[in-house]
Structure 1
Amino acid sequence: MKNLLVVGLMVSGLVFGQTKERDTLRERSLDDVYTAPYAKKEKPLPLSKKGQVFVFFGWNRGAFSNSDIHFTGNGYDFQLNNVQATDKPTKFGIVYFDPSWFTVTQYNFRLGYFIKDNLALVLGIDHMKYVMKQNQTVDFSGTISDPKYAAMVQNGKVDLSDTQFLTFEHTDGLNYENLGLEKYHNLIHKKNIDLVWSYGAGIGVMFPKSNIKLFGNERSDRFHVAGMGTDIRSSLNLVFWKNWMLRAEAKAGYINMWDIKTTLNNKPDKARQDFVFGQVLAGIGYTFNTKKYN
């Protein structure tokens, strides 16, 4: 009986020992299964992960609502109502690709950094061009002391077509320096192609170089912080070969400039206006990672 008990204990020890060893091997294999995919960091989707950066350069077309422009200075204080304006696209040619001429075109620059997954802080420069339509007659209210220009006002209206009364442009340009937040969503993810949609909003300062000639004075043409702007925007981004990006963006916003310089001297002559704008743009960019991925 004692011998049978000893033999039973030896057999049970052998069985349980083998079972324990098999369980240990099973645990190790399961650990390998679960941890293997995480042994190396996979390169993230374009425009999707914290730490990613992109740069972009493109060109735009703009549209502007009618605006009331109020002029004040020595001997005058008046307002022109419902003034029409348009943008001024440069004729397509080498100027669009020659870096020494890039400011001549209506261009856009973006520098984006992903502060969170799918959320980017974007620094933008929107170089739009604003040109008052010369061939128009607008409503006038206010006073002008100079009899020559006061006589150009007839029945509460003034004809701007001969350029003697006023020429008014922000063509070097209507510069909107802005900072925005943009949210990104991957729509298509293929081997060499990604389609990413974004939306967001921004705010910034207006830093125009305004070309203005009022009452035959010397043309004002200098950079100046004139006001502020804000916008909402949305874009489609086609990322190919992992890093290159084609971007198409639409934007709508509001601009208020209360300190537009109208003369070259330090007199208190100025104009103010506000209007709504729309903009479409397209161009090419590059996206890369600030973190290393194996």
Structure 2
Amino acid sequence: MKQILAIGLIVSGFAFGQVKKDTIEKEYKLEVTPFKAEKKEKPLPLSRKGQVFVFYGWNRGAYSNSDIHFSGNGYDFQLNNVSARDKPTKFGIVYFDPSWFTVTQYNFRLGYFIKDNLALVLGIDHMKYVMKQEQTVDFSGHISDPKYAAMVQNGQVDLSDGQFLTFEHTDGLNYENLGLEKYKNLVHKKNIDLVWSYGAGLGFMFPKSNVKLFGNDRSDRFHVAGMGTDLRSSINMVFWKNWMLRAEAKAGYINMWDIKTTLNNKPDKARQDFVFGEVLAGIGYTFNTKKYN
């Protein structure tokens, strides 16, 4: 009997010990299980596929010297190393009055994001180009009209009095272009984003050239005159989710081979090519903006 009791105590003690051991191990395992924090959703970039933006601003431009070749009935000549400048309108209400917006050197952009951070941008750059009147330039070629041929002295012609030539694209040097731009978020906050972009563009030149050559009636009409291309970069500050301030710089090349120099249908025309630089700034608005704070 004592032996049976002893065996029962041993078996029960062993079972109790096992239960206790299992319980302790389970409790221990529960205690050492690390706590997994919930993953917060990473803020998405401001610029996303399907987003659209519009922009309007104003520019200042600079142009390299260029050779301008003139040809027509009775003349075929080139003026070498001609310098030019832009023609900014004096600051005032004209910059904000919609009925006068074409008077200023303005810029328009319409952008559509075809992929996250990659946008197609349709642009109009209304620049102004004015040949500097107070200059003497090198001349090569021939003029049959003795009055204007006599103005050429020692292979040069003085343009100062405007009798020989006035030449400008002031209504204006219109660069209609399509660009591809890459965007990168630099700063991402609740109510403000700073976005950098860079890209390139290609388009056609649609100037309204104001040209008066040899005392003829001034040519003053819109005409597709050539092509242009550019590299550009911009800084965009987007605030309150939709409003945008944009500052942009670009450098490019313009080649115009069919500039109208008279009002009639004669074959009178000019051609020139030059490098240009442009800085612009203005305000825009974004549509279909998807932003997570």
TM-score (norm 2): 0.85
Q: Does 1:138 align with 2:170?
A: no
Say if 1:51 and 1:291, in contact at 8 Å, map to a contact too.
no
Match of 1:5? none
> Which SS does the other structure have where 2:101 is aligned?
helix
The alpha carbon displacement at 1:193 in A equals 1.0
Asked if structure 1 preserves the Cα contact closer than 8 Å seen for 2:251 and 2:278, the reply is: yes
What is the match of residue 232 of structure 1? 231
AA aligned opposite 2:241: K
Which residue does 1:199 correspond to in 2? Answer: 198
Q: Give the CA deviation at 1:275.
A: 0.1
Deviation at 1:156, TM superposition (A): 0.1
Q: Which runs of 5+ in 2 are unaligned?
A: 1-35
CA distance in 2, matches of 1:123, 1:288: 16
- Map Cα deviations across residues 223-253 of structure 1 (whole Å, 9 max, x no partner): 0000000000000001111110000000000
8 Å contact kept, 1:181–1:201: yes
Alignment of 1:56-135 (within 5 A): 56-135=55-134
Equivalent-residue separation in structure 2 for 1:141 and 1:125 (angstroms): 35
> 1:145-156 maps to which residues of 2 (within 5 A)?
145-156=144-155
Q: Which residue of 1 aligns with 2:263?
A: 264
1:14 aligned partner: none
Deviations along 1:114-169, one digit per CA (max 9) or x if unpaired, are 00010000000000000000000000000000000000000000000000000000
Match in the other structure for 1:27: none
Task: State the one-letter code of the partner of 1:50.
Answer: K
Partner of 1:167: 166
Q: Is the 8 A contact 2:241 2:289 kept in 1?
A: no
Distance change in 2, residues 1:265/1:53 (3 Å): same
Query: 1:190, CA displacement in angstroms?
Result: 1.1
* CA distance in structure 2 between the aligned counterparts of 1:60 and 1:53, rounded to whole angstroms: 22
Query: Is residue 60–residue 86 contact of structure 2 (8 Å, CA) maintained in 1?
Result: yes
**Cα distance in 1, alignment partners of residues 56 and 193 from structure 2:** 19
1:45 aligns with 2:39: no
Aligned length, in residue pairs: 266
User: Secondary structure of 2:99's match?
Assistant: helix
Q: Measured at CA, do residues 236 and 290 of structure 1 come closer, stay the same or move farther in structure 2, by a change above 3 Å?
A: closer
* Distance in 1, Cα, partners of 2:205 & 2:54: 22
1:44 and 1:57 map into 2 onto residues whose CA distance is 26
- Residue 22 of structure 1: aligned partner: none
- For residues 80-121 of structure 1, the C-alpha deviation after alignment (integer angstroms, 9 at most, x for no partner) is 000000000000000000000000000000000000010000
**Residues 236-271 of structure 1, C-alpha deviations (whole Å, 9 max, x = no match):** 001111110000000000000000000001110000
Which residue in 1 is equivalent to 2:5?
none
User: Per the alignment, in what secondary structure is the counterpart of residue 100 of structure 2?
Assistant: helix
Would you say the 8 A contact 1:171–1:210 is kept in 2? yes
Contact 2:58 2:281 (8 Å CA) reproduced: yes
Cα shift at 1:292: 11
Partner SS state of residue 263, structure 2 = coil
2-structure distance, mates of 1:110, 1:209: 21
Contact 1:55 1:110 in 2 (8 A): yes
Over alpha carbons, which structure has the higher Rg?
Answer: 2
Q: Is the 8 A contact 2:209 2:219 kept in 1?
A: yes
Shift of 1:184: 0.3
Work out the CA distance in 2 between the residues paired with 1:264 and 1:44.
Answer: 56
The residue type equivalent to 1:240 in the other structure is F
For 1:21, the equivalent position in structure 2 comes to: none
Asked whether the equivalents of residues 248 and 281 of structure 1 are also in contact (C-alpha less than 8 Å), the reply is yes
Measure, in 2, the Cα distance between the counterparts of 1:182 and 1:103. Answer: 26
The alpha-carbon deviation at position 288 of structure 1 amounts to 1.5
Report the counterpart of residue 25 of structure 1 in structure 2. Answer: none
Q: Secondary structure at the match of 2:102?
A: helix
Alpha-carbon contact 2:44-2:291 (below 8 Å) kept: no
User: CA–CA distance in 1 between the matches of 2:176 and 2:263?
Assistant: 23
